[in-house]
Amino acid sequence: MTATSAQDISARYHFACDVARQAAELAYDFYQRRQQLAVEHKGDDLQDVVSQADREVEALTRRLIAQRFPLDDFLGEESGGSGGSAACTWVVDPIDGTACFLNGLHTWCVSIGVIVDGDPVIGVVYDPNHQEMFHACKGQGAFLNHDPIRVHAGSSLRDGVMGVGTSHRVTPEDFVPFISRLLHAGGMFIRSGSGALMTAQVAAGRLIGYYEPHMNAWDSLPGIVLVREAGGVSNDFLADHGLQRGNVLLMANAEIYSQLSELIQQKIK
């Protein structure tokens, strides 16, 4: 795999922000007429839904990226794809928080990450309901629109609110004991329904951390870049075939991260 130049990375960073904006515009248009959308279930999980909006927004992002960077790989939640053979892989969830989107809740976003030479390097999360673009590129800091952002400075779980998520890809036992331990430690949590957006909120210091026992790459990678660039840490998500299979996701500032790791270890024991 050849090393990608700073210029190549910069071109993709700016383009990722453009694509997120265009994708969000189309998604928002569908959102305003969501009652007319036919909804399908994915497999046996009745909570895992998809609509024409998810498919068309992903098709738009795939087309725009292929036109501009035809040699790059693309991996999307709805249309799948490859990842890892080209120097640059785009990882896209066209609408993260589909259940919120379809039910008229505001917590959904467009989520775009780029892996460069095997490393998560670009992360963009765009929330069209609040016109908030969270974006970061490795080594350049993290931003909310034009303003730099930092992770929460708290040193105790009592100092802030955790973002958490779960799905039917794991069992209740993989998740519920963590919540009990968090509450016993004096912590508190929210689950907004959009994991990608909550990871961006961690980068912006609005949430003290994020934990989910299994997240997919298209939901996790943008936030990982954002949080690391905002001064926080996350687990090695791409280990154990994380790109293809997903992985546990844990992120926070370094001190809170180690406290959370301990709570999760207790669950694993």
The residue ranges that bind ligand IPD (CB under 6 A) are: 93, 96-99, 165-167, 193-196, 212, 215-216, 219
Which of the choices ligand IPD, Ca ion, none does residue 165 contact, using the CB cut-off of 5 to 8 A by kind? ligand IPD
Q: Residue 215 binds which one of Ca ion, ligand IPD, none, with CB within 5 to 8 A depending on kind? A: ligand IPD
Distance between CA 155 and CA 144 in Å, rounded? Answer: 23
Contacts to Ca ion from residues 79-118, by CB under 5 A: 93, 96, 98
Q: Which is nearer to ligand IPD, 86 or 224 (CB)?
A: 224
CB distance 143 to 149 below 8 Å: yes
d(CA 258, CA 153): 14
Given the complex with ligand IPD, which of 10 and 47 has the nearer CB atom?
47
Residue 72 annotated as lining a ligand binding site: no
* φ/ψ bin of 198: left (φ > 0), alpha (ψ from -120 to 50), beta (otherwise): alpha
Closest CB 31 distance from ligand IPD, rounded Å? 13
Q: Closest approach of Cβ 236 to Ca ion, in Å?
A: 20
Q: How far is the CB of 117 from ligand IPD (least distance, A)?
A: 27
Please identify which residue in the block is written with the tokens 């034009």. Answer: 146
Is 48 annotated to bind ligand?
A: no
Asked whether residue 95 is marked as a ligand-binding residue, the answer is: yes
* Alpha helices by DSSP H, the chain: 6-32, 52-68, 98-103, 176-184, 195-203, 217-229, 242-245, 254-268
Position 219 contacts Ca ion (CB under 5 A) = yes
Q: Is 113 or 195 the residue whose CB approaches ligand IPD more closely? A: 195
Min dist CB 207 to ligand IPD, Å, is: 13
**Structure-block tokens of residue 39:** 């909804």
Any contact of residue 72 with Ca ion (CB under 5 A)?
A: no
Buried b (16+ CB within 10 A) or exposed e, 111-149: bbbbbbeeebbbbbbbbbbeebbbbbbbeeebbbeeeeb
Query: What would the two tokens of residue 29 be?
Result: 């248009």
201 touches, from Ca ion, ligand IPD, none (C-beta below 5 to 8 Å by class): none
Residue pair 260/211 in contact (Cβ under 8 Å)? The answer is yes
Q: Encoding tokens for residue 232?
A: 């926080």
Interface with Ca ion, residue 212, by CB under 5 A: no
Q: Residue 219 annotated as binding?
A: yes
Of the candidate spans 69-77, 175-183, 202-210, 228-236, the one that interacts with Ca ion by CB under 5 A turns out to be 69-77
Q: Percentage helix, strand, coil, to 5, in the chain?
A: 40, 30, 30
Residues making contact with Ca ion (CB under 5 A): 77, 93, 96, 98, 219
Annotated binding site: 77, 93, 95-96, 219
